[in-house]
Structure 1
Amino acid sequence: MSIAFVPASGTPREIGLAHGRALAVPLRAFLADGLARLNHLTREPLTMPGLLPSIAAYRAAVGAALPDLAEEVAGLAEGAGISEDEAWLLQLRREIIGYNQVPTAGDCTTYARTAGPAAADGAGAGPVLAQTVDLNANLDSHISVLRIARTGSPRRSLVLSFAGLLGYLGLNSDGLAIGLNLVTDGQWRPGVSPYLAIRHLLDTASDVDQALKILAGLPLASSRSLMLCDSERAVYAEICGNDIRVTEPASGRAVHTNHYLHGDFVPFDRQSAADRVSSDLRLAAAEQGLAGLAPDADAEDHFAVLSRPPVCIADHGDFRVERTVAAAVLFPAAGRLHLRPGDPSRSATRVFTV
């Protein structure tokens, strides 16, 4: 299974142009496939004219809060030869799906830890963040890794992306790694999507402390749990409505799946009973798997945890329901992203450096 590697540097527009030009053909094909595959998922068909008011509301919110990323979206559109509204739709698919109440079976198992001395070759130990990526719509057909170097900043970012997203999960050259999990609170609204928020944090934050301060100032659109890790801290920040709760386990090991763990947010959880069973099983399996890993565990050791059910969700043949489309192991101190596309129990590891 192929992974598109896209090095992009310069101004925000130049970065977007490079991204769009590199993926122009697959992105145009993706948009033509049932409106970015949305119409294969929703109960009622969507149209671009019908989505324009929602896109405009999100676009205005992101433009006001993160003008650099709005400019990058404009560059993506130009480079790919698509309209700016189509480029924005690629950023907002999860929010559009959420508004149309497509059922979910979960979205990712994520863990991080700080323990262990860094290996000299960066192959293992040190701080680590690892996760499965569970998505619907067979998005393992559109995996890319972006290496971002912005003009005027010494910081570089390495970002796992799907189908034109500016951000999903990743790490930066300062040693910060960020992953995520879907949690559902029923309070989604126009604002900065968590995917774009993660990209902004990787571009602008040097460590967990700074990232949390920046995150608290963003008008976030939808609920997620963000896993953040650097050499000192491993935490998860749960988002519910306009509030954020940060949990930092004393063990230095943080694990999250798809239900709220903080007591303040548990009453707002909208996950179905069936989905909660999956989330609980994956949480317990990931906690056990992580606890059993040696301090000097390498990427392949972590992939062994991520590749076993119930953490790994095999292809069940239902396009509308999530399955594991990738697994990633990030060593932020070494600036390395280890990635297995598709079902990680069936694919080889590729390594990217920041």
Structure 2
Amino acid sequence: MTTDADVAFLRLSGSPFAIGRGHGEALAAPLRSFLDDSVCRLNKVMQDPVSVAGLRPLISAYRAETAAAVPRLAEEVEGLAAGAGISEEEAWLLQLRREIMGYRKVPTAGDCTTFARVGTAAHGQPVLAQTVDLNGDLDDRISVLEVAAPGVDRRSLILSFAGLLGYLGVNSDGLAVGLNLVLGGEWRPGLPPYLAIRHLLDTSSDVTEALETLRGLKLASSRTLVLCDRERVAWVECLGDDLRVMRATEVAHTNHFLDPDFAAHDELNVFARNSSVRRLEAARAGLAALPATADAEDYFGLLSRPPICVPDTGDIRRERTVAAVVMLPQRGELHLRPGDPSLSTTRVFRLQAG
């Protein structure tokens, strides 16, 4: 477990290909070593072994769907490959790792706890905060990207793992996007949710625009996105081609569906559901106990406590907390604690002016 890891910080701009190339050049050695580590560590966490050659048809299908939906990001993946000196299939594999893993039916203790508050509940300082719970020991693969979206005056701070173009982040218009894994429906070739989040940050100025854009996308797999701008908060549960939205001044979400219509289609196993319910209750209670004047360190205090913070059991196949993030959309700030947030120190990343 990495408790206070180095975090690469990359400022990227230019054409989509140039952005990808800069990303790849900066992280060429770690990306190559990750690809060579049991195929992005997939063979350390999956029951059936995979290979790049064997995954070629699946990669091709996702690539085609992504290129049709967001051609800019497809060009960026090409640039990533060129910059890192890897094949385009390998660059796409870095984007598709979670889709290839698919549903996981093993008992687990976590997979992200997310909350957000705005308005008087946040004393006028909107916040979106979450743990990042992943398997594969990915806390040694964290980077933060500051990306200038081509053709518009908009920049984003993106939390990334091992070459991902997107995961979660905040943009210069004051929109922040977080996420939770939920399991349901058919997972199929489409736009991976991590890349959808990057697309929302590149193209949307607020929650309303992000929701409109999201409704036009064919997502590859089920997720909950938590959206926060200077005035509004919403969670969006995505199941197949359907969305359910809940708006409030304060929201929390974990890994089970909260919408009654979607709950009947929840595929989360009983062990994971019990963990999800406990973490949701802890998040709601913790938020209720925090004053509206709470700052980033107060929110990290909540994210660092069990059951919200999921400890390392030593099993690479099990999800654990590999990072915690507090985003302040009005300030354009992303506060990060890499690894176990109860053991690491806070790094603050701010969007560059103009």
Q: The TM-score by the shorter chain falls in which range?
A: over 0.9
**Is 2:153 aligned against 1:149?**
no
Other-structure match for 2:343: 346
Structure 1 residues 102 and 87 mapped into 2: Cα distance closer, same or farther (>3 Å)? farther
Other-structure match for 1:303: 300
Other-structure match for 2:180: 181
Other-structure match for 2:52: 48
Letter in 2 for 1:3: V
**Is 2:36 aligned against 1:32?**
yes
**Is 2:262 aligned against 1:265?**
yes
Structure 1 residues 273 and 20 mapped into 2: Cα distance closer, same or farther (>3 Å)? same
> What is the alpha-carbon distance in structure 2 between the residues aligned to residue 104 and residue 73 of structure 1?
34
Where in structure 2 are the equivalents of 1:183-332 lying within 5 Å? 183-249=182-248, 252-332=249-329
Deviations 1:31-71 (CA, angstroms, capped at 9, x unpaired): 00000100001111111111001000000000001000000
Other-structure match for 1:113: 117
Specify every segment of 5 or more residues in structure 2 that has no aligned partner in the other structure, as ranges.
Answer: none
Letter in 2 for 1:309: P
TM-score between the two structures when normalised by the length of structure 2: 0.96
- TM-fit CA distance, 1:116: 4.1
> What is the alpha-carbon distance in structure 2 between the residues aligned to residue 118 and residue 238 of structure 1?
24
Q: Is the 8 A contact 2:95 2:163 kept in 1?
A: yes
> What is the alpha-carbon distance in structure 1 between the residues aligned to residue 335 and residue 70 of structure 2?
29
**Is 2:331 aligned against 1:334?**
yes
> What is the alpha-carbon distance in structure 2 between the residues aligned to residue 20 and residue 102 of structure 1?
33
Letter in 2 for 1:346: L
Which deviates more from structure 2 when the two are superposed, residues 342-351 or residues 226-235?
Answer: 226-235
Q: Is the 8 A contact 2:184 2:267 kept in 1?
A: yes
Other-structure match for 1:95: 99
> What is the alpha-carbon distance in structure 1 between the residues aligned to residue 120 and residue 295 of structure 2?
11
Letter in 2 for 1:321: R
> What is the alpha-carbon distance in structure 2 between the residues aligned to residue 176 and residue 104 of structure 1?
34
Letter in 2 for 1:147: E
State the identity %.
Answer: 61
Q: Is the 8 A contact 1:110 1:180 kept in 2?
A: yes
- TM-fit CA distance, 1:256: 0.1
Letter in 2 for 1:163: A
> What is the alpha-carbon distance in structure 1 between the residues aligned to residue 48 and residue 245 of structure 2?
37
Other-structure match for 2:62: 58
> What is the alpha-carbon distance in structure 2 between the residues aligned to residue 34 and residue 103 of structure 1?
20
- TM-fit CA distance, 1:153: 1.1
Letter in 2 for 1:192: L
> What is the alpha-carbon distance in structure 2 between the residues aligned to residue 222 and residue 118 of structure 1?
32
- TM-fit CA distance, 1:115: 2.6
TM-score between the two structures when normalised by the length of structure 1: 0.96
> What is the alpha-carbon distance in structure 2 between the residues aligned to residue 34 and residue 309 of structure 1?
31
Other-structure match for 1:79: 83
> What is the alpha-carbon distance in structure 1 between the residues aligned to residue 130 and residue 107 of structure 2?
18
Counterpart secondary structure, 2:115? strand
> What is the alpha-carbon distance in structure 2 between the residues aligned to residue 144 and residue 238 of structure 1?
27
Counterpart secondary structure, 2:79? helix
Q: Is the 8 A contact 2:107 2:271 kept in 1?
A: no
For this pair of structures, how many residues does the alignment match? 346
Match of 2:22 among 4, 18, 23: 18
Which deviates more from structure 2 when the two are superposed, residues 160-169 or residues 284-293?
Answer: 284-293
Which 4+ stretches in 1 moved above 2 angstroms? 101-106, 115-119
Q: Is the 8 A contact 1:116 1:296 kept in 2?
A: no
> What is the alpha-carbon distance in structure 1 between the residues aligned to residue 277 and residue 227 of structure 2?
21
Q: Is the 8 A contact 2:121 2:250 kept in 1?
A: no
Counterpart secondary structure, 1:248? strand
